[in-house]
Structure 1
């Protein structure tokens, strides 16, 4: 086995879809479902969150924990699932992880109290880590970095379609049947994804690493990944981009429903528009990648992000508190998000063809650690105004632009552009 440094530089040299024995369309479908499990788990119950909070007699800070604790477990579990998948393969980790996800989803829907719900949601987040980590690692198993960004963009278009449906379905199911049924929908999605993996998905890991779980190997791999400037640049990008998105997700249902007076159905339509903008962004991403490469695409998207964030923050500081004052600027930020996430996620694992699981896990952990901190900050600062949402998103838009124009521009070359 080559040393870590040699592993990081070894190129992909095979046609992935044929080697894996799967048509390219099936690979994209699998990736879209594995990545889509995240919005299914985080977005679908958001319209029901205020009702859920009242029904269980919970405080807003505890309600926020149903999301932020899930995401902390989601990030942490990837540190375990990543090396496990490098050792045993992506398929067995997915089968066990998705099985656990289905069980935790059932437990969440039946939870008798907010405390029990937080426990089940934490377990659900931990299991969800197997799916998203494996998706990013599978892209690196099958595709060289430049092609990986395009494939990831196609898969994230599928994620956008899934996210489009989440809030409207969540609002509708919650209105018709109650919030517990909204928490039960992820069970069906998880079971369907588990069946697809069990019956149609072939292992993609070219060669298992028998030493992947040894502490010395694991520590050496993580150190190698964390020292890599390309990994750090793209992880900073994905973390700032997810920080912006999570600030919106964690506060939007309270802001739009309780502060701005929208119904759950109207809020679902806002989320639908949000997802449509994101899908459009993934199409822009593929177009820009062909013309400008990864660094050029990310830099251009940084302009959109900062313009949207500045407009949103400035309007709220001027006292404009309306749906349009948030959704208009948000559209620009979500268009850019459709560029930042595929480029960032594929870029972070790009230098590590033989340690894609570990690199994907570290990237995911850093993103979710930031989300957990944001959740705690928001839970203590939701004050009945739009300001925590608007000023928080303005802050993250500035971080994204800074990273896009400095770190990614300087260190993105190793990504193949």
Structure 2
């Protein structure tokens, strides 16, 4: 496998900051409006299922669009695709704010998901452009630490905006974030792709590249890791606003504090990831993350089975799951593109597509299962924790070394 030299831009702290902004656009888009989701669903005269669709449709569009954006970025470079995506995202954010019906809101959220696909896919591909595989996992961990900070702040800010200024203000805040990120990319992030591939969009070349990525066991090991980890998180995101506010009786501001606390756990997990990698290496770090995931999911199930259906009982086990999530995402997102320095856009796109496809299916399942109890959240997190243990201790240990070629 070719090991490129690390460009000077990779050594810049501003590059990590911009990467953090790019990757954080996903939790900003999903988490900031969650405290307002029950209110906006009621205000627009919609059902709970329609309200959930504002999240699941966005994520399906996000995942599918990456299959389109990935080859484009390999052909034309990351920077033009990033700028295009951020402009589309800004327009869609304004449309969200002005939507007069749930149907229009879902439409604008879908377009926002398409645009978000360009931003996040390019962010992940840029890590492979600038860093060797193991260094990429460390850099991704630093960028996702920034994502953790943003995720911590999103829910409290969203709850405060919804209470003080109404639910539309939470959607309008996304426009400000997009404009800030656009300015930072324009000013501080040059093109990272050393040599665009002029053949990347030719059907025969594209199919060959897809086949090479999809046949590689390292790609599958790390993509399944990130997908299962995100699936468990998405169970929480899709169900928690209804369960914690409507079932367990929390106020929106306190629910914002709940999301803040889970973000802190994820934030801590990214720090733990870097410390563990320095001592144990990539695959053993993932194995330790698997132990945290399984412990968290198992304890959530045990607490619920014991009848302790309160936030104070359910949250501590979920914090263990989020610590594991803070390990699995940087290791998985960098590991799945590591074998493909010349096709990082395609590999990143397939990884993102897998995560969002599972998220969409999970959102549909959660919507059908919401029944006035905590069990949809508990059962979903428990299932994904078991899958994470199997992937982290099995597939990643066998196929997850950065120099794996078969």
Q: Report the TM-score range of the alignment, normalised by the length of the smaller protein.
A: over 0.9
1:270 aligns with 2:262: no
Match among 54, 59, 66 for residue 54 of structure 2 = 66
Match among 163, 182, 186 for residue 170 of structure 2 = 182
In structure 2, C-alpha distance between the alignment counterparts of 1:221 and 1:325, rounded to whole Å:
48
Q: CA deviation at 1:121?
A: 0.2
Q: CA deviation at 1:200?
A: 1.8
- Other-structure match for 2:193: 205
Alignment map for 1:41-190 (pairs within 5 Å): 41-190=29-178
In structure 2, C-alpha distance between the alignment counterparts of 1:285 and 1:217, rounded to whole Å:
36
1:216 aligns with 2:204: yes
Alignment map for 1:8-407 (pairs within 5 Å): 9-12=1-4, 14-16=5-7, 18=8, 20=9, 24-407=12-395
- The ranges of structure 1 where at least 4 consecutive aligned residues each deviate by more than 2 angstroms after the TM superposition are none
CA-to-aligned-CA distance 1:306-358 (integer Å, 9 cap, x gap): 11101101221232211022111011111111100000000000000000000
In structure 2, C-alpha distance between the alignment counterparts of 1:167 and 1:89, rounded to whole Å:
34
- Other-structure match for 1:4: none
CA-to-aligned-CA distance 1:124-176 (integer Å, 9 cap, x gap): 01100111100110000000000000000000000000101100000000000
3-state secondary structure, aligned to 2:401: helix
In structure 2, C-alpha distance between the alignment counterparts of 1:311 and 1:277, rounded to whole Å:
16
In structure 1, C-alpha distance between the alignment counterparts of 2:84 and 2:220, rounded to whole Å:
30
Q: How many residues align?
A: 404
Q: CA deviation at 1:224?
A: 0.4
Q: Which runs of 5+ in 1 are unaligned?
A: 1-8
Q: What TM-score does the superposition give when structure 2 sets the normalisation length?
A: 0.98
In structure 2, C-alpha distance between the alignment counterparts of 1:107 and 1:252, rounded to whole Å:
26
Q: CA deviation at 1:286?
A: 0.2
Q: CA deviation at 1:23?
A: 5.2
Q: Is the 8 A contact 2:162 2:168 kept in 1?
A: yes
CA-to-aligned-CA distance 1:48-67 (integer Å, 9 cap, x gap): 00101111111111111100
In structure 2, C-alpha distance between the alignment counterparts of 1:214 and 1:30, rounded to whole Å:
31
In structure 2, C-alpha distance between the alignment counterparts of 1:415 and 1:116, rounded to whole Å:
47
In structure 2, C-alpha distance between the alignment counterparts of 1:90 and 1:64, rounded to whole Å:
32
Q: CA deviation at 1:414?
A: 3.1
Query: Using a 3 Å threshold, how does the CA distance of structure 1 residues 401 and 415 change in structure 2: closer, same or farther?
Result: farther
What RMSD, in angstroms, separates the aligned Cα atoms of the two structures?
0.9
Q: What TM-score does the superposition give when structure 1 sets the normalisation length?
A: 0.96
Q: Is the 8 A contact 1:146 1:415 kept in 2?
A: no
Q: CA deviation at 1:384?
A: 0.5
Q: CA deviation at 1:415?
A: 5.0
Q: Is the 8 A contact 1:108 1:120 kept in 2?
A: yes
Q: Is the 8 A contact 2:128 2:136 kept in 1?
A: yes
